[in-house]
């Protein structure tokens, strides 16, 4: 296994994760490797629930030379952030903090040649424990859902996946940040 994959494995599965700088370098190496190999994936490889383990922000470069990665961070254990993809091409993003859970959902479309997954969050659910306290549409709701497939990529948020494996995925977001997720067991607590 290449060194960068070993680092990403440790970052996604270990109680003793590598240093933040090592993970950022490993993600960048994985991205460069994927660009060279041009391996195309298919949407069913993403189906399931993934827990966010690590992410970077971005900083705008002063001289407009492009996007500069901000500091990377591990997601603390007391915050649970999940992304799920269903076989019906839906995305669900959940943040759980104590008894509170915020979930946003919407449609997706996968563009295989470049492994880009566009999405749009259109519904929101807020739970306290198991009790649903709010449910509703956002961003134009039903109308936006009907128009989603027709919109061009330039008008949608997306992830450009550069690592898709059975137990982990990594992507660059539209704004330039990087993220690493680990597959969750299907019996996890919601």
Would residue 40 count as lying in a domain?
A: yes
Please report the pLDDT score of residue 68 as a whole number.
64
Number of independent structural domains in the chain: 1
- The pLDDT assigned to 112 comes to 86
The pLDDT, as a whole number, for residue 2 is: 83
Establish if 11 belongs to a structural domain: yes
Structural domain range at position 105: 3-183
Query: Within 13 A of 143's CA, how many CA atoms are on the CB side?
Result: 3
CA distance 5 to 66: 26
CATH at 137: 2.40.128.280
Structural domain includes residue 190: no
Residue 189 lies in a domain: no
Cα–Cα distance, 46 to 104 (Å, whole number): 18
What's the pLDDT score for residue 74?
A: 95
Is 188 inside any structural domain? no
Give the integer Cα–Cα distance in Å for 80 and 54: 12
pLDDT at position 63:
43
What DSSP state is assigned to residue 2? -
CA–CA gap between residue 23 and residue 1 (Å, rounded): 16
Q: Which residues, at least 6 apart from 80, have a Cβ–Cβ distance to it below 8 Å?
A: 51, 94, 95, 96, 97
Residue 64 belongs to some domain of the structure: yes
pLDDT attached to residue 44: 96
* Residue at 127 is within a domain: yes
Report yes or no on 129 lying in a domain.
yes
Each residue's pLDDT tens digit in the chain (190 positions)? Answer: 789 999 999 999 978 899 999 999 999 999 999 999 999 999 999 999 999 999 998 765 444 455 666 679 999 999 999 999 999 999 999 999 999 999 999 999 999 889 999 999 999 999 999 999 999 988 777 777 778 877 877 788 999 999 999 999 999 999 899 999 999 975 444 4
């Amino acid at each position: 296994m290449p060194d960068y994959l070993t680092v990403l494995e440790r970052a996604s599965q270990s109680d003793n994760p590598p240093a933040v700088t090592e993970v950022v370098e490993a993600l960048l190496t994985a991205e460069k490797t994927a660009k060279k190999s041009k391996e195309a994936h298919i949407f069913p490889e993403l189906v399931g629930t993934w827990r966010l383990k690590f992410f970077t922000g971005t900083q705008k470069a002063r001289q407009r030379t492009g996007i500069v990665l901000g500091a990377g961070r591990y997601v603390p254990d007391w915050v649970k952030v999940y992304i799920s993809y269903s076989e019906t091409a839906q995305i669900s993003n959940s943040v759980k903090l104590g008894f509170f859970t915020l979930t946003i959902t919407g449609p997706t479309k996968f563009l295989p040649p470049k492994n880009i997954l566009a999405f749009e969050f259109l519904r929101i659910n807020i739970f306290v424990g198991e009790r649903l306290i709010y449910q509703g549409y956002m961003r134009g709701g039903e109308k936006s859902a009907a128009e989603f497939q027709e919109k061009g990529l330039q008008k949608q948020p997306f992830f450009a996946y550069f690592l898709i494996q059975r137990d982990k995925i990594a992507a660059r977001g539209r704004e330039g940040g990087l993220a690493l997720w680990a597959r969750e067991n299907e019996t996890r607590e919601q």
